[in-house]
Amino acid sequence: MFDFARCMDDVFGVEGGISDRKNDLGGHTAFGMTQHTYDRLRVQRNLPKQDVVLATRVELMQLYKEEFWVKAGCDKLISVNKDRIALLQFHISVQRSPDDAVRMLQKLLNIDPQTGFFGNITLNAVSLVLEDSLIYNYLSAMKQHYLDEIKKIPSQIANKHGWMNRLNHIAIMTGSSWHTDINAEV
Residue 23, amino acid? N
pLDDT tens digit sequence for 139-165: 999 999 999 999 999 999 988 998 999
Would you tell me how many other CB atoms lie within 10 Å of the CB of residue 129?
Answer: 16
What is the pLDDT of the chain when averaged over all its residues? Answer: 93
- Which range in 30-34, 96-100, 178-182 is most confidently predicted, on average pLDDT? 96-100
Question: 34 φ, ψ to 5°?
Answer: -75, 155
Provide the residue ranges of all domains of the chain, joining segments of one domain with +. Answer: 4-174
pLDDT tens per residue across span 6-65: 999 999 999 878 877 776 766 778 888 989 999 999 999 999 999 999 999 999 999 999
Contact 125, 82 (CB under 8 A): no
Query: Exposure string (b/e) for 156-184, b if CB count within 10 Å is 16 or more?
Result: beebbeebbebbbebbebbebebebeeee
Cis peptide before 98 (omega within 30 of 0): no
Instruction: Give me the helices (H) in 16-130, please.
Output: 35-44, 57-64, 74-79, 83-95, 98-108, 120-128
| CATH architecture for the domain at 4-174 | Up-down Bundle (1.20)
| CA angle, 87 then 162 then 178, to 5° | 50
Residue range 63-77, pLDDT digits in tens: 999 999 999 999 999
Distinct helix (H) and strand (E) counts, the chain: 9, 3
